[in-house]
Each structure stands twice: as C-alpha cells, then as structure tokens.
Amino acid sequence: MTDNVQYPDLVIVGAGLFGLTVAQQAVERAGARVHIIDVRDHIGGNAYSYFDKETGAEIHKYGAHLFHTSNKRVWEYVNRFTEFTNYVHRVYATHDGVVYPLPINLGTINQFFGASYTPDEARKLIEEQAGELAGTDPQNLNDKGIQLIGRPLYEAFIKNYTGKQWQTDPADLPADIIKRLPVRFNYDNRYFKDTWEGLPKDGYTAWMERMIDDPRITVSLKTDFFDESQPYNKKALLAAGVPVVYTGPVDRYFDYELGDLKWRTVDFKEVRYDEDDHFGCPVMNYSDADVPYTRAIEFKNFNPERHDSQNHEKTVVWEEYSRFAERGDEPYYPINTDEDKALYAKYAEKAAAEPKVVFGGRLGTYKYYDMHNVIDTALTAFDEQVLPLIAK
C-alpha cells in the first residue's frame, strides 16, 4: 500500500496547534508541500471545539481553552487567522456552600474572614497564619501552601482541590508543583495577567481551519502514524527520508522501550439543565473534598456576545474529574516527578539522534504548554529545526 507514493516535502504527525503552525509556516515561507496526519477525526488537537445543537454553546471538547498572551509575536500571528472577543477570564470557587472569587484576592480574604482588611492588614494576617512555616523552605506541597498563603486559606481553597486534582495527599506531592500561590492584596479578580486575552470570535475550529487553508496543505484524519498499512507511517517515511514533525507522545515514538512517561488525564460528565444560566459564570471550582469533581464548566457563559443565537431554556455543563492516565487514555498533564524527568531526558537524547524528525508540542516534549506557548515554540522550531530540513 506504500509503494509508488509521491511523498510531500514535509509530513506532520498531529493536527494540533504546533503542527498547524509549522504547516502554515512551511507553506508560506518555504513553498513546501505539506501533509498532516492525525489519529483523531478532527484537526485542532485539544483546542478543538464544536457547537452544541441544543443550546448553541461552543463546546471545548477537551476542556476549557482560554487564549491569553503577553508575547507580541504570538498575538500578531494568531490575529492573522481570527478576531478575538473581549472576554476576560474570572473564576469562582464554592467552599462550604459559599461562592468566593479566585485567585485569592482582597475580596476573597475579606469575605472569608468576614472582615474589611486593608491591603497592609491582609498581608500581615497572611504572614501570621503561615505560623511556624514562615520563612522556611518546605519540600512538600502541603507545607509550601501554608507557608505562602497561611493555613486557613490554604485548607479552604487549595488543599482538597489539589488532592482531587492529583489523586494524592498534598503532603506527598513536591512543593515545586505550586512554586508560588498568588495572593492579590487588591480587588482584582482577573485570572490571567497577560497583555492580551480573548476567545476566537467564530470558534476555535474555524481559526484552525484558516491556518491551513492552502491547497499545498493536505490532511488525513483517523490515520495512525504507527499503522504500516497506510502510506504515511513511521517506517515508510524514515526509509524514504521524508522530513517529519512529530507531535505525538515521545515514548510512543520509541515504542516505550525505556518505559512509560506518566500523565494525568481528565474525564468529563455532561449535565444539562432546563434553565438559561446555571452558574452565572463559565467556571466554578469546587474546593471541598465531598464534591468528587474539581470544577464545572458552563460553556455558554464564555460567549455572552452570542446571546441571540443561544437557547435560553437550556444550558450544558461539564463536570471535570482528574485521575492518573493509563496507556490509551488522553494524556493531559505531565506528572513530572524526578523519575519522569530523568526518563524524559533519556528519550530526548534518542529524539535528538533522529536526523530528519523534529519533536514538538506537549506530547512530543513532555511539557505542559498553554496555547500561546505552543505557538511560540512552533514558530521557533520552524526557524531553527524545520526550515533547514525543507529549504530548497
């Protein structure tokens, strides 16, 4: 089946943001012919979205995706393919039946303690509540959280949420998972602090489709790179010397020969309500241990500007459950223990020895990236690694 195949100048494995960015750049800047394959039935990777027929809401199939960046190069690049709304992300958390704003800010603190602290008074309170851990360098997440924001706030908003998220007691997690917990001593409850923020006006998938709207870019979906019955498989491409950009799991590329890298995954439970608006916000965190999911997403509330095209008698909510991934699950977040980092370093050595393969994206480099990071690394990888392979 792979005989007499006329291969393109570049094959990209994975139609996520990294692969799409490289494809777009390869066509625009090198005049290359590019073929993209993806094992899924859609482009866009984890940023893929679709519109729910019943409610009119744009569903982010792999969990909430929110675009924000302070990188001017990335912002100018993405605005070539989509306009953005003026959406500003704000998160709320339910604790003991009361809703609070997050990240923890002066409003959260004063509401939680039933007080009217000034910024200086709130700072002093937090320092006092760190207790014996103040000024120390804790090595586990539990003690680090107490040191950073004091015991009461940590136990209310972080401890149980983190335990659910990692399926592990925070006392058994490394401190560097949180590194720092921001506390704002003003009433700013904007979640991100980046220069630019918004959501694509006509949806994520429309944005991604525009990126590869060029006859020199072709796409094969439901196509497995490791399936030797289809022509764009690993063995055939390497034998033919075709340059490859690989954005799948790096351990899978090498047939897990050094062992499996560990990930967390996310399961979603859909709930539909016979009402216009269930939460009054897009994301509600659940900080208490007796609620089994970490948060709930009400997609309709990401796009109030679409009010006229939405059903105001129905809404859809996804509850989000976190667990350790097994082989075959969708990998979302790298676990990144010292053992995993050491294992990835060995795989990275092997990857560097593949002369015509560029590894990229979240799965290919075992890193968690926001969308703007993926695009930035893709633009850099194209300049430094891909262009030299395809330059004519």
Residues in a beta bridge with 221? 38
Are the beta carbons of 64 and 90 closer than 8 angstroms? no
Which of 161, 264, 362, 376 is the catalytic position? 264
Which of 155, 214, 260, 370 is the catalytic position? 370
Counting DSSP H helices and E strands in the chain, the numbers are 14, 16
Which of 3, 132, 180, 255 is the catalytic position? 180
Which of 38, 320, 362, 376 is the catalytic position? 320
Are the beta carbons of 174 and 48 closer than 8 angstroms? no
Is-catalytic flag, 320? Answer: yes
Which of 184, 232, 251, 362 is the catalytic position? 184
Identify which of 6, 39, 7, 35 has the alpha carbon closest to the alpha carbon of residue 20: 35
Distances (CA, A) of 328 to 15, 29, 121, 325, 372: 18, 36, 51, 8, 27
Is-catalytic flag, 29? Answer: no
Is-catalytic flag, 224? Answer: no
Identify which of 314, 100, 128, 124 has the alpha carbon closest to the alpha carbon of residue 187: 100
Is-catalytic flag, 370? Answer: yes
**Pairwise CA distance, residues 82 & 212, whole Å:** 13
Is-catalytic flag, 323? Answer: no
> Mind giving me the DSSP string for 151-164?
HHHHHHHTHHHHHH
**Pairwise CA distance, residues 152 & 133, whole Å:** 13
Is-catalytic flag, 184? Answer: yes
Which of 92, 191, 295, 362 is the catalytic position? 295
Active site residues: 180, 184, 264, 295, 320, 368, 370
